[in-house]
Structure 1
Amino acid sequence: MSDDNKLVKAIKDKGKSLEAEMSFFDHLEALRWHLIRAAIAVVVLALVAFFNYDYIFNNYIMGPFRPDFWTYRMMCKLGEGFCITKFNAVIINTEVAGQFMLQINSSVLIGIILSIPYILWEIWRFIKPALLEKERKAASGFVFYASMLFLLGILFGYYVIAPESIAFLANYEVSDTIKNEFTVSSYLSMVATITLIIGIVFELPIFIYILASIGILTGTFMKRTRRYAVVILLIVGAIISPSPDFLTTMIATLPLFVLYEVGIVVASVVEKRRARAHDELMNS
């Protein structure tokens, strides 16, 4: 190859590398703006929660610690043995800035939870240009379904799992000489952790869809291993529900069974779609 041809080739290669580098930085710039808009949404909703904190604190944050909470009223209808009429515990603050930090931290947490649909929409807007037309159609309902599952999980965690946990632990006594005094940060951390974990667990069908789409998981495999999944889900249900009775454990586990069955349907649909695409490719 002559020196002129080598020079031309080097210039072309350099141009391609510069084009790829610019494209990479363009993607970073786009991602930065998506993250900024998501952060702004969190801040705005957090400020709304902060300036309406009295109502939020009395009706929602402290809800699971009140005997008149909706969950405890429903439990009373199941029988006297399930009725919660009082808590053998008090919530205290042991830090100078404890209550102020409680308001800030819980407001930010509320802002994050409420902005999840918008955050997912920003994520979808970022990854959408990189998808093929078929992939876009297949994932067109991602924001809606992911948001609905997460919010359902938040509601289930807040109205079912968190109250059961608080009621069981607040009324649990090893000895009458030991008084239960919970710090406000410990209480908030427990309620927030439970609700967020359950919200993430409810995204199981979305995770299954992703794994099925890349060929790691199939509906056939999930059906074949259903008996093992039942045992695992029972263990998970027993862990997230601290109350030792069988009824509350099953209440915590039942939605997991439903999510697994929904996941089987989702994985089976994706499996058939992949098989049909493979047949079309082989016949073309």
Structure 2
Amino acid sequence: MTDANNLISHLVELRNRILRALLSVLAVFLCLVYFAEDLYHYLASPLMAVLPENASMIATDVASPFFAPFKLTLVLSFFIAIPYVLYQVWAFIAPGLYKTEKKLVMPLLVSSTLLFYAGMAFAYFVVFPLAFAFFTSVAPSGVTVSTDISSYLDFVLKLFFAFGVSFEIPIAIILMCWTGVTDAKSLRAKRPFVIVGVFVIGMLLTPPDVISQTLLALPMWLLFEVGVIVGGFYSKNNHSDEQEDNPATDN
């Protein structure tokens, strides 16, 4: 009976945490929805700046002028609310963690959020201008570049996600070192393969020009080096002896 009560109490707490996370996204959305068109205009600025004279974006679907800014605002609301959403995740799992795990997990949640934001900012301010300038410059003669607003939104959201995830490399390395999957010494030995790999990823995620591929590959390489340095302090051997017999119950 006690186990059943514990299970029910955990499920109730999980429900409350999920509801709080969803309400935070909704609250941000309600604050931003009035500015939906302005937000889309700001998102489209890197493309609009390189479109040919008298060219503009188009809407091929009747509802696109409404749904595209609405969708952008909803996704942006989630991105802005990520810190609070992750806090709810932390508050739910923290009572079952060891003290050494608590010392690692919370900084990782914060740093992973900042790195994800940094990846999105890098994509918007560095990659987008170069990529869209390249795309518009290679249009065949007689072809007018007029991008559909929904297609453009889907494209940039994919790039935002790709760059945001790519910037999580240090977090992934730290977790692998901490769990004993690998260690800093092994990763250093694989450095030549990593360098080739990041340039291949840069080629796949960016337009086919050397500049934008390099602009993604070099930060990924640098982030790999940072992850290796920091991961050396979180190897499994460094923390295995510090584990306590029971999970910590303090927050």
The gaps in structure 1 that reach 5 residues or longer are 1-17, 68-83
1:55 corresponds to: 38
CA distance in structure 2 between the partners assigned to 1:43 and 1:279 by the alignment: 44
Q: Distance in 2 between matches of 1:172 and 1:88?
A: 18
| Structure-2 separation of matches of 1:135 and 1:270 | 11
**Which residue of the other structure, out of 131, 138, 144, is the alignment partner of 2:110?**
144
* TM-score where L is the length of structure 1: 0.78
Deviations 1:211-256 (CA, angstroms, capped at 9, x unpaired): 2222112111111111101000011112222142x33322221110
Answer yes or no: is 1:66 the counterpart of 2:28. Answer: no
Give the secondary structure class of the aligned counterpart of 2:56: strand
What is the aligned partner in structure 1 of residue 185 from structure 2? 220
What stretches of structure 2 of length at least 5 have no aligned partner?
A: 244-251
Deviation at 1:28, TM superposition (A): 1.9
- 1:192 is aligned to 157
How big is the shift at 1:279? 6.4
Q: Which has the higher contact order (CA 8 A, sep 6+)?
A: 2
Pairs aligned (count):
243
Rounded Cα–Cα distance in structure 2 between residues aligned with 1:121 and 1:189: 28
Q: Which residue of 2 aligns with 1:33?
A: 16
What's the offset of the Cα at 1:262? Answer: 1.2
Residues 277 and 102 of structure 1: is their aligned pair in 2 closer, same or farther, counting only changes over 3 Å? Answer: closer
Q: Which has the larger radius of gyration?
A: 1
**Structure-2 residue corresponding to 1:166:** 132
Match of 2:197 among 232, 235, 242: 232
**TM-score, scaled to structure 2:** 0.88
Identify which of 217, 222, 226 aligns with 1:253.
217
Give the fraction of aligned pairs with identical amino acids, expressed as a percent: 26
Q: Does the 8 A contact of 2:117 with 2:164 survive in 1?
A: yes
Give the aligned residue type for 1:214. T
Shift of 1:87: 6.8
Task: Show structure 1 runs of 4+ deviating over 6 A.
Answer: none
Question: Given the alignment, which residue of 3, 6, 27 partners 1:44?
Answer: 27
Find the aligned partners of 2:242 and 2:123 in 1 and give their Cα distance.
44
Q: Is the 8 A contact 1:153 1:202 kept in 2?
A: yes
